Amino acid sequence: MRMIKYRSRGPEVRLLEEILQKMGYDLYVSDYFGKDTHEAIMDFQRKNSLVVDGIVGIKSWSKLLALNPDILNENSKLLSERDLEDFATKYGLEIATVKAVNEVESRGKGFLVDGRAKILFEGHVFWKQLKSRGVDPNAHFNQQTSDILYPEWTRSHYKGGAGEYDRLQKARDISPGQTFSDAANSSASWGSFQIMGYHAKTLGYSSVDDFVSKMQLHEREHLDAFGRFLEVNQLIRLLKDKNWQGFAKRYNGPLYARNKYDERLQKAYDRYLNV
């Protein structure tokens, strides 16, 4: 693990924050090392007889992993080279293309440190999913549910990491029965490629529950869902043609250029092509 500290960015930051959240620290899990993470790691260092400097180097990483040995067991759920090769063969893609897309679009590791698939719950989607099932969301919108049920998108209620499962369960628990459970599961994005649950039927899963259960098994299932999504939305041809701009625009939306997805895909492809 590389050394990270306040204002660092990257997948190591997300892993650190997931571990700290799992240990009971109240912080937002993202790829940014913010003040909440800085305060949490200093508290951890203080309680574990480490130098209290807020810098997460080899000693802090070693202590964190020693106290959370189960994290290492999740390696059995990670993608292998063979998985990517099989995907390339199935869709007639160059392996360099598959590796580039996996690197740029997979959002890093597909599972939390507790072994559950990574998710992000969207309260505005939950609002729409309830309406599509004949449920008036206004009837359930109140001060207690305003963090998981709202008509317009906002990032203000995100918790990240395991906290998103708390939000998901809260949505399921608004009312017993399959309707609210299905609507809640459909309102979260799942796994490495963050495929929304409401795509389940379109992608060939028997139900959203079937989709969710498969997302908990292995990153291989995340890659399979991603492949189905690309096929259904006719994105495979763009990858075959190395049309990075067209692919990024279709997959990431009209603001793709802001995050330079097309440029990142091209650079990743060039690098893997020469491996």
- Rounded to an integer, what distance in angstroms lies between the CA atom of residue 32 and that of residue 124? 24
Look up the domain containing 51 and give its range: 11-67
Is 29 domain-assigned?
Answer: yes
Is 26 domain-assigned?
Answer: yes
Residue 73: pLDDT band with limits 50, 70, 90: low
Q: What mean pLDDT is predicted for residues 183-188?
A: 98
Q: How many domains does the chain have?
A: 1
Tens of pLDDT, residues 166-179: 999 999 999 999 99
Is 62 domain-assigned?
Answer: yes
Q: Are 222 and 110 in contact (CB under 8 A)?
A: yes
Is 141 domain-assigned?
Answer: no
The pLDDT, as a whole number, for residue 188 is 98
Q: For helices 123-132 and 178-186, give the axis angle rounded to 10 degrees.
A: 130
Is 193 domain-assigned?
Answer: no
Which residue is listed with tokens 């989709």?
A: 211
Tens of pLDDT, residues 78-133: 999 999 999 999 999 999 999 999 999 997 789 999 899 999 999 999 999 999 99
Residue 125 CA to its chain's centroid (Å): 16
| Average of per-residue pLDDT values in the chain | 95
The CATH code of the domain that includes 17 is 1.10.101.10
Is 5 domain-assigned?
Answer: no
- Rounded to an integer, what distance in angstroms lies between the CA atom of residue 275 and that of residue 267? 13
Residue 275: pLDDT band with limits 50, 70, 90: confident
- Rounded to an integer, what distance in angstroms lies between the CA atom of residue 136 and that of residue 48? 50
The pLDDT, as a whole number, for residue 108 is 77
Please name the residues in contact with 192: beta carbons below 8 A apart, sequence gap of 6 or more.
79, 106, 107, 108, 109, 110, 118, 219, 222, 223, 226
pTM of the predicted model as reported, rounded to 2 decimal places = 0.85
Is 49 domain-assigned?
Answer: yes
**Residue ranges of E strands in the chain:** 119-121, 188-190, 195-196
Q: Are 148 and 160 in contact (CB under 8 A)?
A: no
The pLDDT, as a whole number, for residue 72 is 67
Is 212 domain-assigned?
Answer: no
- Rounded to an integer, what distance in angstroms lies between the CA atom of residue 76 and that of residue 86? 18
Q: What mean pLDDT is predicted for residues 4-17?
A: 94
The pLDDT, as a whole number, for residue 70 is 80
